[in-house]
Amino acid sequence: MHHSRFISCLTRGLFTAAVAVGVWSTSPATAADLPTSPKAESLMAKTRPNLQKELRARGLAVGQPIFVRIFKIPGTLEMWMNNGRGYQLFKTYRICTYSGFPGPKINEGDWQAPEGFYSVTADQLNPKSGYHLAFDIGYPNEFDIAKHRTGSLIMVHGNCKSVGCFAMTDGRIEEIYLLAHEALAQGQEQFKVHIFPFPLTPRNLQKYSASPWISFWKSLQPGYAAFEQFKQVPEIAVHNGEYVVTSRTPKLAMRQSTVRQD
């Protein structure tokens, strides 16, 4: 792993060796397994009462499985939750700032935030972040590694400063972090984070068709479309260095769908 002065959105020295090399646990976490700190516990206790009221009004509860979807344009983070009847949108948070422009992260130090399909396990929570609270999205994933993309420790965090990360402000990350922490504590093995340049509708893909990244964005579109259609987080694998939707719903395996990059 290469380190550089550009990783200023990270809190150095607060991650285990497993986190540093990108090796995540795949077994379910319990509340006792999750990383914590007095600051994080205090912030979650403060945030919980009002958040619980908002959730109850939507038929949701703290601890239910979550799914996070990020759009660089218009600059939003969507928090989806599953109450047993499929995922529904709980809240759309404005991103205070993120680094770079539409398009994937290629190299460490390029000041660019990633795009693609990522997973977060308990080990990726950072309750001691210098940016209030944070979690690592899991970049680089298998696809990024296959494309020889470099960089590490890309976060969703508080504050409003970013070099490669998604800064949400302290108040917003308190809610997002609590929902993530409690979902993992209640047995969700990992939650998915899908990051797109914009909603990958046919109209938007046509609008941005002159971009050098249009082939890459088309490779993300089957995963975007699967969630839009079924409101279930699709299973996405990497075959021969390309994203492949292997199941559009948790219970129904579908024919593999992928678009290769030019």
Q: Is 157 a catalytic residue?
A: yes
Q: Enumerate the domain spans of the chain.
A: 17-198, 200-262
Q: What is the pLDDT of residue 35?
A: 94
Question: pLDDT tens digits for 81-138?
Answer: 999 989 999 999 999 999 899 999 999 999 999 999 999 999 999 999 999 999 999 9
Report the b/e string of 130-152 with b at 16+ CB within 10 A.
bbbbbbbbbbbbebbeebebbbb
State the catalytic residue, choosing from 9, 165, 181, 194.
165
Rounded to 5 degrees, φ, ψ at 208 are: -105, 25
Higher pLDDT, 16 or 184: 184
Catalytic residue among 9, 96, 157, 181: 157
In CATH, which of 2.60.120.260, 3.40.190.10, 2.40.440.10, 3.40.50.300 is domain 17-198? 2.40.440.10
Burial of residue 1, with CB atoms counted within 10 A of its CB: 0-12 exposed, 13-18 middle, 19 or more buried: exposed
User: Does position 244 have pLDDT exceeding 70, yes or no?
Assistant: yes
Residue 181 annotated in active site: no
Where residue 261 falls among pLDDT bands split at 50, 70, 90? very low
Q: Which residues contact 81 (CB under 8 A, 6 or more apart)?
A: 55, 60, 64, 65, 66, 67, 87, 88, 90, 179
Residues 142-167: what's their mean pLDDT?
Answer: 95
Q: Residue 43 has which token pair?
A: 């912030």
